Amino acid sequence: KAGVTQTPRYLIKTRGQQVTLSCSPISGHRSVSWYQQTPGQGLQFLFEYFSETQRNKGNFPGRFSGRQFSNSRSEMNVSTLELGDSALYLCASSFTGGYTDTQYFGPGTRLTVL
């Protein structure tokens, strides 16, 4: 079956702009989580959506937001971009999002903020 897909794969923006990233989970998966990966901070949890509701949230400012649609596809938005937002943004899907449930990661979106 098809894996998790993320679009776009690469993105270049300038400070102050906003960006929307998209994630299509594996068919049948209802939980989608987003992570930010940087060389300095590693992989950090942003938020998790399940059945169109945000269920968990990490320690990121309100500029980072997300949503999930009825088909489980998810988007995350970052407003007023800062240089420090340059990172690899990963999404992961699972059936239920429970801690014993395997999360499958997409290839990520590489965001560069100039």
Partner 1 sequence: TQLLEQSPQFLSIQEGENLTVYCNSSSVFSSLQWYRQEPGEGPVLLVTVVTGGEVKKLKRLTFQFGDARKDSSLHITAAQPGDTGLYLCAGAPGNTGKLIFGQGTTLQVKP
Residue ranges that bind partner 1, judged by CB under 8 A: 4, 31, 33, 35, 42-45, 48, 55-56, 58, 90, 92, 94, 96-108
Q: How far is the CB of 9 from partner 1 (least distance, A)?
A: 9
Our CB check for partner 1 shows the closer of 18 and 96 to be 96
CA dihedral 80, 81, 82, 88 (to 10 degrees): 150
Q: How far is the CB of 113 from partner 1 (least distance, A)?
A: 20
Our CB check for partner 1 shows the closer of 52 and 80 to be 52
Look at residue 85 and give its three-state secondary structure: helix
Which residues 6+ apart lie within 8 Å of 37 measured at CB? Answer: 43, 44, 87, 88, 89, 90, 108
Contact predicate 24/73, CB 8 Å: yes
Our CB check for partner 1 shows the closer of 22 and 104 to be 104
Q: How far is the CB of 15 from partner 1 (least distance, A)?
A: 26
Quick one: tokens of 47? 């938020």
